Amino acid sequence: MIQALINNKWESINDNNLLLGTDTFSFGTGLYETFRTLEWKPIFLEPHLDRLFNSAKIINIKIHYSRSQILEMIQEVILNFKDPNQRVRILAVPENFIIYTSQLNLDPKIYEGVSALTVSANRETPDVKTTNYKVCLKAWEKANDSGCFESIFLDGDGVVLEGSRSNVFWIKDGKIITRENNVLPGITRQILILRSPFPISFGLLYQSNFSDIDELFITNSGSGVIPITKVNSEKIGTGGVGSITTELLRLYNQWLHENC
Ligand code: PMP
């Protein structure tokens, strides 16, 4: 059981009822947002709320609270939790607005490079973060079962879309590239595009071109920038974390601290 703020009241709820993408998830189709805290302060919260309100319009979900009420609720949930570094989840589902938090358990080893595998799959509404999470969960479990950190979705033409819980960036000849369309407009992706000192452009990466790129990394709000050094047992670049990814990792960490 965990404590969650449900429609602005504290309630105990079974963890299984909140597991997106499983048969025990107890709510209808809606939206969710996940962000982290640092020392009890939410990181890049404003763009997460912008995305929540924009997406609610797109899929016609009514959010019965104002932005300032939501900010107050979030504050209450964060301050009520013992750990300073948290992963906070907002669920906006029919009839229920739920906020809960948990410890952010980041393994520092992931920043030394992780492996990924590719799967042919896509999300139904790629630009919206909906609770229809089965495809992502299945892909992530497949990665996990193979000892990989992430699954990278490929479209029907074998072109990279995004990760099951992340956006994908690659570097070739000093240029950083990410896919423009048919992916979630990730908040971390957006922060990088706005703030990276190295220009980031949009493009396509064919599965057959993994062997030609120099660096590869993924982004999400929980873990930030994560280098990928191997895809489907094939080394990326030299097989180590490249210099541009290393610099972006350093900068992202700095931005996190400045945001507090
Ligand atoms: N794509 C998908 C499918 C995701 O689930 C996530 C994680 N929310 C992302 C991209 C990254 O988005 P963000 O940076 O907003 O966490």
Residues of the chain with CATH 3.20.10.10: 108-259
Q: What is the pLDDT of residues 82-107, one digit of tens each?
A: 999 999 999 999 999 999 999 999 99
For Cα atoms 223, 159, 146, give the angle at the middle one, nearest 5 degrees.
50
Q: Whose CA is nearest to atom 8 of ligand 1?
A: 165
Distance between the two ends of the chain, CA-based, in angstroms? Answer: 30
Phi then psi for 29, rounded to 5 degrees? -70, 130
What pairing do the DSSP bridges indicate for beta strands 86-93 and 31-38? antiparallel
pLDDT of residue 220 exceeding 80, the answer is yes
Ligand 1 centroid vs 221 CA: distance in angstroms? 7
Query: In this predicted structure, what is the pLDDT of residue 55?
Result: 96
Length of the chain: 260
Mean pLDDT along residues 134-140: 96
Q: What is the pLDDT of residues 21-78, one digit of tens each?
A: 999 999 999 999 999 999 999 999 999 999 999 999 999 999 999 999 999 999 999 9
CA-to-CA distance for 200 and 125, rounded, in angstroms? 24
Ligand 1 centroid vs 172 CA: distance in angstroms? 23
Q: What is the pLDDT of residues 148-200, one digit of tens each?
A: 999 999 999 999 999 999 999 999 999 999 999 999 999 999 999 999 999 99
pLDDT of residue 207 exceeding 70, the answer is yes
Mean pLDDT along residues 214-236: 97
Judge residue 176's burial from the number of C-beta atoms within 10 Å of its C-beta, 0-12 exposed, 13-18 middle, 19 or more buried: buried
* pTM, two decimal places: 0.97
CA-to-CA distance for 57 and 7, rounded, in angstroms? 19
2-103 CATH: 3.30.470.10
Residues of the chain with CATH 3.30.470.10: 2-103
Query: In this predicted structure, what is the pLDDT of residue 259?
Result: 78
Q: How far is CA 46 from CA 68, 80, 88, 143, in A?
A: 11, 21, 14, 31
108-259 is classed CATH 3.20.10.10: yes
Pocket test for ligand 1, best of 87, 129, 195 (most atoms within 8 A of CB): 129
Ligand 1 centroid vs 34 CA: distance in angstroms? 9
Q: What is the pLDDT of residues 118-129, one digit of tens each?
A: 999 989 999 999
Q: What letters, b where the CB count within 10 A reaches 16 and e where it falls short, cover 207-228? A: beebeebbbbbbbbbbbbbbbb
pLDDT of residue 260 exceeding 90, the answer is no
